[in-house]
Amino acid sequence: MKSTDTDIVRRVIDGDSRAYAELVDRHKDKAMTLAVRMLKDRREAEEALQDAFVRAFRALPAFEWKASFSTWFYRIVFNVCSSRLSRRGDTTMLSIDKENDEDLKMEIQSQDDEPDKELEMKEFNSIVRNEIGKMEPAYATILTMFFLQEMSYEEIISVTGLPLGTVKNRLFRARMQLRSAVLRRFSATKVMVNI
């Protein structure tokens, strides 16, 4: 039976520091995606992620169980990356946008299991990830958390500290930017895009 984050955190708090490697393995890919989206530099993202894992390990004994470990940890990653952005003079992550209450949904689904359709979907997903990588960090970060990491609004709010309206607004704007970019790239093909 696979251990839960809670079980592993308890083991680490009880002195099994080697168990922390399990948490690192579980969360490193999503955390790296978040860091790269925010910092737009893989090397800097790797350094930020390493810093975030060290900070989380040191703070683990004070973990209050008010949120899941993943939400708490992604908040640390977000804060480390925000600090790095602030140091280099990029404050776009800290701005508050006008609120927008429109609910959003993005669906990327293949309607057919044929090999050519599967290849199209892989190409489409690659293009989507590439276009997200080109966005401003404020939008790419929210889009990554919501669509790629499948975080709820509440989890995003907990990680970023932003109000719900701002999260929805950034998600809406990012979604519109992504839709335009993907449609431009696929304008000559017959691929149906429902974003």
Contacts 24+ apart (CB under 8 A), 131-134: 131/177, 131/178, 131/181, 131/182, 131/185, 132/37, 132/174, 132/178, 133/36, 133/37, 133/40, 134/181
Q: What is d(CA 144, CA 116) in angstroms, rounded to the nearest whole number?
A: 27
In a shared domain, residues 79 and 127: no
Residues 119 and 52 in one domain: no
The confidence score (pLDDT) of residue 116 equals: 58
Asked whether residue 43 is assigned to any structural domain, the reply reads yes
Each of the 195 residues of the chain gets a pLDDT tens digit; together they read 788 999 999 999 998 888 899 989 999 999 999 899 889 889 999 999 999 999 999 998 888 888 889 889 999 999 999 888 888 776 544 333 333 333 323 333 334 445 555 666 677 677 777 888 888 888 888 888 887 788 889 989 988 999 999 999 999 998 888 888 877 776 645 444 445
Range of the domain at 181: 115-186
The CATH number of whichever domain residue 71 belongs to comes to 1.10.1740.10
Q: Domain check: are 82 and 154 in the same one?
A: no
On whether residue 50 sits in a domain, the answer given is yes
What is the four-CA torsion angle of 64, 67, 73, 77, rounded to 10 degrees? Answer: -110
Flag whether the pTM goes above 0.85: no
122 and 65 in one domain?
no
